[in-house]
Amino acid sequence: MRTLFLNPPSYDDFDGGAGSRYQATREVWSFWYPTWLCYPAGMIPDSKVVDAPPEGLSQETVVKMATDFDLIVLHTSTPSFTLDCRTAKMMKEVNPKCVVGFAGGHVTAEPEAALRAGEAIDFVTRKEMDFPVKEVWEQRDWSDILGISYRKNGVIHHNPDRPMLGNEELDALPFVTPIYHRDLDYLKYNSPYCQYPYVSLYTGRGCPARCTFCLWPQVTTGHSYRVRSAENVIEEVREMPKLFPEMKEIFFDDDTFTADPPRARRIGELMKPLGLCWSTNSRANVDRDTLKTLKDGGLRLFVIGYESGSDTILKNIKKGVSTERARRFTRDCHDIGILIHGTFIVGLPGETMETIEESIRFAREMNPETLQVSLASPYPGTEFFRYVQDEGFLVNSVYNDEAGYQRCTVTYPNLSSEEIFDAVERFYRQYYFRPSYIFKSVKKMVKSRDERKRLLREAGEFFTTMKKRRDAAA
């Protein structure tokens, strides 16, 4: 079966594909690699990965591709699901014989509803898609394939879950970067906090933390951090400069790369002789010695989910890291010279006007290099979703506006969805438009032409985005 792995087009510049934790059009140009699709693609000869959003491919263009394939696997998300169903239906109309499967967190959380809503969907994979898709491609009897739900003769069946892949199985998977090289254009991917061009990959899957809002560990990757060996990671990394000659930075996009500090240090030590610049995701609770080893091994930046400056909210969402611990960690990073991209969320359980102000003050105190403020999005399958649904705080199920920007879907007795929505822009402005931050940015622009170009472009994109989301809300 000639197989197409498709991250379908939906909204313009929608960063919501197989690699994106928060599915939305971003404030500035940003695309994650469709890494999840590239694993099974690496196991299926003659397959093809098409990532429509960064390529700017229209629905019409991808629909025409259907004639060339027997099996089409689409990665979907909660905000794009309805549009993705439409794309799948049109592909089936063009090639009625093709088998269509959907993958991703949304169909894992609601497989029955997904199969009922999408008449063109033949099967969905739940949790890890690697081997379920491969076994469909091998044309095994679907009733024997663990981890899929499917439709047969109009009846929907749910097979038992498939056990998560263990460490050794992760080591045995193909590398994703040769698939990027084969099917994607790495110059079309950007992360605002990574140096351009960047290339990302996973060194492990899952996160032991229990943050109630976080989609992947609760729905697809699980709470045990399963890891590739450091040697296996380095074997892949070593080849990357040849595959991507202009690459300036590698991003280890594990849920929490530092969840296993001895292993993180081992990778840091093995990275050192390679002389490559890299960044990764972490929680704000890493010890100073580990930080030093990672910095020594080429670590440039951490993405840190501070989420809130209120300890009450941090407890409500089971973050497991207090503001005090985050302060100490941040001081250590500043001392050692590790940059931070800090992420915050407004609208989490317990949020009030006062806690939003607390978060803004805390963000300014932490003073990360760059900042991201998201609206709390209760995706199906998360504890946060169940909470807002049970309490009657979920006001609508439309997660994004017509341009793909996040919409506020929750409201609380003391805080309306409008107030939460407005707080995002206020948060950004109060963070970025400080004399000290402006001065730092000007210094960067004076020093480097590339930085000047990037900052000016991002500033322009930021203002345009804020206007568009305000207009859409109005």
**Interaction site with ligand SF4 (CB under 6 A):** 207, 209, 211, 214, 217, 255-256, 283, 305
Could you say which DSSP state residue 67 is in? G
Strand extents, DSSP E, 185-258 = 198-201, 204-205, 226-227, 249-252
The helix (run of H) or strand (run of E) holding residue 98 is: none
Q: How far is the CB of 97 from ligand SF4 (least distance, A)?
A: 40
CA angle, 233 as apex, 164 and 163 as ends, to 5°?
Answer: 5
Q: How far is the CB of 208 from ligand SF4 (least distance, A)?
A: 7
Q: Residues near 289 by Cβ (< 8 Å), separated by ≥ 6?
A: none
Q: Which is nearer to ligand SF4, 72 or 207 (CB)?
A: 207
Q: Which is nearer to ligand SF4, 341 or 469 (CB)?
A: 341
Q: How far is the CB of 217 from ligand SF4 (least distance, A)?
A: 5
Q: How far is the CB of 40 from ligand SF4 (least distance, A)?
A: 23
Q: Give whole-number Cα distances, 89 to 85, 107, 120, 250, 400, in Å.
A: 6, 16, 5, 37, 22
Q: Is 223 helix (H, G, I), strand (E, B) or coil?
A: coil
Q: Which is nearer to ligand SF4, 305 or 404 (CB)?
A: 305
Q: Which is nearer to ligand SF4, 218 or 465 (CB)?
A: 218
The helix (run of H) or strand (run of E) holding residue 349 is: none
Q: How far is the CB of 410 from ligand SF4 (least distance, A)?
A: 17
Q: Residues near 138 by Cβ (< 8 Å), separated by ≥ 6?
A: none
Q: Could you tell me the sign of the dihedral formed by the alpha carbons of 280, 281, 284, 290, in that order?
A: negative
Q: How far is the CB of 270 from ligand SF4 (least distance, A)?
A: 24
Q: Alpha-carbon distance 370 to 378, whole Å?
A: 24
Q: Which is nearer to ligand SF4, 283 or 469 (CB)?
A: 283
Q: Residues near 429 by Cβ (< 8 Å), separated by ≥ 6?
A: none
Q: Which is nearer to ligand SF4, 217 or 298 (CB)?
A: 217
Backbone φ and ψ of 177, nearest 5°: -65, -35
Q: Is the peptide bond before 197 cis (omega within 30 degrees of 0)?
A: yes
Q: Which is nearer to ligand SF4, 199 or 211 (CB)?
A: 211
**139: Cα within 13 Å, side-chain hemisphere:** 5
Q: How far is the CB of 343 from ligand SF4 (least distance, A)?
A: 9
Q: Which is nearer to ligand SF4, 207 or 338 (CB)?
A: 207
Q: Is 116 helix (H, G, I), strand (E, B) or coil?
A: helix
Q: How far is the CB of 213 from ligand SF4 (least distance, A)?
A: 7
Dig out the tokens for 128 from the structure.
Answer: 């890890």
